[in-house]
Structure 1
Amino acid sequence: MARITFRKLALVFVSLISLAAIFSLHTSLWSRSSSRSNGVISRGTPINSLSSSLSPVRTRSVNKTGVSFHQQNELKPVAVPMGMINYDEWTCPPFVGYFVDDLRMHRYDWPEKPTVRMSSRAVRVITGHIYHFGARLYGYLHPPVTGLYWFSVNSSLSEGAYSIELWISRSSDPTKLVKRFNVTYAIEEKNCSKITNPIFIKLANQFIYYFEFHVKSFKAVLDIGVQEPIEHYKGYYKVRESGIFPWDENKYVYNNKERFGNRRITESVAQSVLLLYRKEFSKFYTNRKVKGIHYLVETKDQSYGSRFLLEMDIQLENGDTMQTSEYVYLPNKKRGRLCHTLNFQWKRNINVYIVVSVKDLGEWIKHLIHNMVDIYHATNDKHFQLVIVDYSSDDIDITKELLESSLPHWKVISLEGPFSRSAGLQAGVDYASDNNSIVMTIDMHLTLPLDFIDSVRKHTIEGKMAYAPMFFKLSEGFSENNVDGYWQIGTFGLFGMFKSDWERVGGFDVINYKYRWGGEDWDLLDRVVSIGIEVFRVRPPGLFHYYHTRAGMWGFHGNKLSC
């Protein structure tokens, strides 16, 4: 077990990276007029107002020439320009403790008597050589567009503790603040960074909102971020492909030219990660040994570092070999240290629902059932269920086909009316009653690799990551045994998330995309990315999409169109 350690810190700062770049901040110091009633923040209650009585404080103002200090006996109402934010800081003893409530115990100092008061352009604010400090950041937010905005906190030191709250008004009235965000976290030495689950607040462009962040920190470096909604169909550009080792030689041919698969991780990178993992592993398991890497997946973040999914062979005490998979993190600033990813590990044996929506595609439905049976026999995995949403198909009795198969878990949902891919898939998503399960929507005309269900589990993390694999689109007349085609990189027809995340994003838009061909996947992607869920993108070997026409399919009556 990792233990919390507290070493001396050379520098503590609060970083406001995103606020200025994203919002127009109409900010100003509150008017301390006697017309407002006195009041302080109490636990779990809204702020009524600030006290009108003020004592001399050391005030710092930022201008073009630098930083200047002066004393004043009374704070006058000060207009802060657009794009600026107010910052109050408490750095002197006895402001100890790890919680915002510890600041509130000092009613004579909080929130009226900060050690430093300044205004800044939402950039890095240095607090100095301090063990404990408190901060209050406040102003007005003017959203550029109406939508769901997410607020999050990232801590980038290997140890420390912090408590942070977000109070935001439903209008520009500072007296109507309500607490919307409350996080307390101790950063363990084993975990190099922590990004909180963001909170999502709908803000309207026609309103201006008053906000306050309250921070109590001990040796923690914090980035407080706010991100505006993703523009429609722009979520695609937020998704990045991952790399693998060893290279799977996942290359196929299109018009006599090779079409390569996944990005390749060099052997030197893989070996360096393996050495770091062995070093950490030996500290906890002296009688076990890491024999080697079976598979390695890297997801890069240029700002912070690389996350790896390691599949390794472990030699046990009795000499037997066990294969295990684990996510680890290699931060940019600490390249010689591998970190455990807190709350970012995949769940083995979690139930997976495979959902497809169909109408009058009898032969392809049989192909899908046989494919799922092959997966079941190859893996003996009893923790997945095939869900077929059928719009009154006339060319097959789906229930009869499933009863005659050896597939242990399946469900047929019958719907009436014209076929709708989005509405059908959403009916399958709704069928999954367990929020602690994964729902994976797929297309027809596919061959799924035998490890498909396990791949869904490994790359789907509740509240953190969705899985959207690409497939290889076969040319007309070709198959997986005689390959010609290309990787379909522009579609997200295969999409998996935890049921709880499907509910958070609202599922498919069954109104605007009920009878439209295409677009529902990109619309879903926009909303997934906008709430801070990462979308894992990779090109799995053996995931093929067969050429077919749209003749007889919904919306294409007799027209032969390739798909």
Structure 2
Amino acid sequence: TELGKGLWSLKLFSSFLFPPQGRVNVHVFEDCCGGSLDPLRNNLLYPLFPNVRTTVSRLAVAPQWSNYGLRIFGYLHPAETDEYIFAVSSDDNSEFWLSLNESPENLKRLVYVGETGNEWTAPGEYWKFASQISKPVLLVKDMKYFFEILLKQNSGMDHLEIAWSLNRDNGTFSVITSEFLSLYEDESSLQMGDIDHIPQTKASYDRLLEPIPLSPHPEGDLIREDPRDHIYKHLFPECHYNPKFLISRVYDVKPLNVASKQTAIVANSCRTAGNIVMSQSHAMPIVRAFLNALHSREETRGYSLLRVVNVVRREDKDVGNRYLVELELVGPQGQKALVSHYVYALAEDSEKQTILCSPKAFSWNPSATVHIIVAVKNQARWIIQFIREMEKVYRATGDKNFNVIIIDYNSSDIDIKKRLKKATLPSYKFKKMDGNFQRTGGLQAGIDLVEDEHSILFLCDLHLYYPVNIITSIRKHCVEGKMVYAPVVMRLDCGASPRAPAGFWEVLGYGLMGIYKSDMDRIGGMNTREFKDKWGGEDWELLDRVLGNGLEVERLHLRNFFHHFHSKRGMWESNNQG
């Protein structure tokens, strides 16, 4: 049985039905748009986390599917010692790589169809492009040769054929069939969470630790370097803090149909534009006042400004605006410091100078422990990727004050506890739950594992790409008893990736939230009664209680924070499982 329509939902065929000889490994990557191989290689799940792992018995497939990528690999066994010529045809782009021996380390690309995603051929059409037919390659009988094939399909008629011919004047191409093939690895008894056996090659390797190239003019400001980080100092006298935008138990609302006054262009641009950029004329008076206060103190008098890293304003015209001021400074001996401090601009004095003060009881704790909490069930490849993201953050920052909490509803495709033990993390907690998947119940179980009420909870999702400064960002925008943080994530389009981002800001969802444990306990935790057997809307219900208890919600578009595109196919075993 070859790859056919609907195969993605099938599990691996058992090894006794299809022995290692005569078949090769196939890894299927769904939800990947575009016709070139770049979106596949840039996919964060590639090549270690395919949707499906299966096999085929000949190097010709026609799945009749769309928006997917295939990786086919195994060993080639020539029947005789001779020179062979290889050919490829496909729709859309494809590549055939062959090693000089059985090692995946010696791969060389022999033939390919296109590189831009616009090239294609008809089935068996090996002469459309010069790149489709290889130069002669000497193969030796009784040796085996590692090979790898990549196919990227967007939409339309999909197919792939790898053929060969002896180097003869009248040689004809024929598809390579089972008698010349064998598996690289028998995966029939492996869980989807087992990935150590998957080969990484010149054609396909894990790019997690490879730096993302920075464009001088990145589209949408999505991958520009973000220098904001972590040191702050007490520089100003305290002032009373009672912003007018906090919700009172009693308040008046004037009905306004905003949708009727907003054009489609405005609505759509709000989904793709980032934070509103403050003008220099508004930011610099605050920076100058900050520096004046800095220079008035003996211990910081010698510090001067290197650059303004960031200024965030929360406008409150009745009592004064609040700012988060972040500056890079240099000391008298050349030492550098990053300052990150909340200030209030209350009024102007007689000389029209801005007067700053520290809002009372409104400062962030740079050493607060942050607990990243997720609830999961049967999402092996995303679970591993989430753990790898957390390892990436720890590797980049060395921050030991964060903890990973995974609540698992009896996943059968991965041993999460075993995977966590192997991970390079400062700390983690793991708990198994019985019954159907419940997001609210799982998150609450994670919250209950946190004992320190002065630490921060970050309720999040599996399918995220995190900026390395995520922990510091959460700390800076969570203020105990005052403010929670609901960063806006960029939802990537199908085929987009953190290396080539395109999508829209998820401005309607509040499922990602940072909040102090003491504040979460005070507002009553997750609503496990009303959302016991469902999810969707629990984030808005939580938001209502956050605002109703007098807490601010800091809502910023967070650069380099992405939600990966994925379909819901295969994510639930029934309507209320996940």
Is residue 521 of structure 2 the alignment partner of residue 503 of structure 1? yes
Residues 420, 515 of structure 1: 8 Å contact kept: yes
Task: State the Cα distance separating 1:556 from its structure 2 match.
Answer: 5.1
Match of 2:282 in 1: 269
Find the counterpart in structure 2 of residue 287 from structure 1: 301
Aligned residue number for residue 453 of structure 1: 471
Match of 1:191 among 218, 238, 247: 238
Query: Offset at 1:322?
Result: 1.3
Q: Say if 1:230 and 1:530, in contact at 8 Å, map to a contact too.
A: no
Cα deviation digits, residues 219-270 of structure 1 (max 9, x gap): xxxx9x9922699xx9xx9xxxxxxxxxxxxxxxx99999221110111222
Instruction: Work out whether 1:310 is the aligned partner of 2:325.
Output: yes
SS in 1 for 2:391: helix
Partner-residue secondary structure (3-state), 1:360: coil
1:133-178 deviation line (CA, Å, top 9, x unaligned): xxxxxxxxxxxxxxxxxxxxxxxxxxxxxxxxxxxxxxxxxxxxxx
Q: SS state of the match for residue 463, structure 1?
A: coil
CA-to-partner distance for each residue in 1:32-65, whole Å, 9 max, x for gaps? xxxxxxxxxxxxxxxxxxxxxxxxxxxxxxxxxx
- Does residue 367 of structure 2 align to residue 354 of structure 1? no
TM-score by length of 2: 0.53
**1:535 maps to 2:553:** yes
- Which of 413, 432, 453 is the aligned partner of 1:414? 432
Residue type matched to 2:509 in 1?
A: T
- Report the Cα distance in structure 1 between the residues aligned to 2:269 and 2:510, rounded to whole angstroms: 27
Deviation at 1:482, TM superposition (A): 2.2
Pair 1:556–1:330, CA change in 2 (3 A): farther
Q: Deviations over 1:471-530 (max 9, x none)?
A: 001112221122221110010111111110010001110010112221111111101101
Partner SS, residue 327 of structure 2 = strand
Residue-by-residue CA offset, 1:329-379 (whole Å, 9 max, x unaligned) = 112576721112221111112111000010010000011000000000100
Structure 1: segments with no counterpart, 5+ residues: 1-188, 197-222, 238-253
**The one of 296, 300, 310 aligned to 2:311:** 296
2:535 counterpart of 1:544: no
Per-residue deviation, residues 393-416 of structure 1 (Å, max 9, x unmatched): 011111111111211311111100
Question: Which of 443, 447, 464 is matched with 2:482 structurally?
Answer: 464
1:388 aligned counterpart, secondary structure: strand
Alignment of 1:424-435 (within 5 A): 424-435=442-453
2:405 counterpart residue number: 387
Q: Secondary structure at the match of 2:490?
A: strand
**Distance in 2 of aligned mates of 1:546 and 1:327:** 33
1:366 equivalent in structure 2 = 384
Give, in angstroms, the shift of residue 320 of structure 1.
1.2
Residue aligned with 2:294, SS: helix
Residue deviations 1:261-296, cap 9 Å, x none?
A: 111011122211111111222221363223132222
Q: Is residue 2:245 matched to residue 1:227?
A: no
How far is the alpha carbon of 1:557 from its aligned partner? 5.6
2: distance between equivalents of 1:257 and 1:537? 14
Question: Deviation per CA, 1:436-481, whole angstroms, max 9, x where unpaired?
Answer: 1001110111111100000000000000000100100111222112
Q: Which residue of structure 2 lines up, in the alignment, with residue 485 of structure 1?
A: 503
Conserved in 1, the CA contact under 8 Å of 2:534 and 2:576?
no
Further displaced range: 386-395 or 309-318: 309-318
Which secondary structure does the structure 2 equivalent of 1:313 belong to? strand
CA distance in 1 between counterparts of 2:426 and 2:269 reads: 43
Quote how far apart the aligned CAs of 1:314 are.
Answer: 2.7
In the other structure, the counterpart of 2:335 is 320
Q: Check whether the contact 2:275–2:556 (CA below 8 A) recurs between aligned residues.
A: yes
- Structure 2 CA distance for partners of 1:289 and 1:366, relative to 1, 3 Å: same
Pair 540,226 (structure 1): closer, same or farther in 2 beyond 3 Å = closer
Q: How does 1:23-172 map to 2 (within 5 A)?
A: none
2:297 corresponds to which letter in structure 1?
Answer: F
1: CA distance, partners of 2:438 / 2:394: 29
1:104 is matched with: none
Instruction: Provide the TM-score with structure 1 as the length reference.
Output: 0.54
The within-5 A match list for 1:194-205 is 194-195=241-242
Question: 1:431 is aligned with what amino acid?
Answer: L
Q: Against the structure 1 CA distance between its residues 477 and 229, is the aligned structure 2 distance closer, same or farther, given a 3 Å change threshold?
A: farther
Aligned length: 326
Greater strand content: 1
Contact 1:552–1:558 (8 Å) recurs in 2: no
Local SS of the residue matching 2:329: strand
SS at match of 1:455: helix
Partner Cα distance (1:333, 1:420) in 2? 53
CA distance in 2 between counterparts of 1:226 and 1:453 reads 28
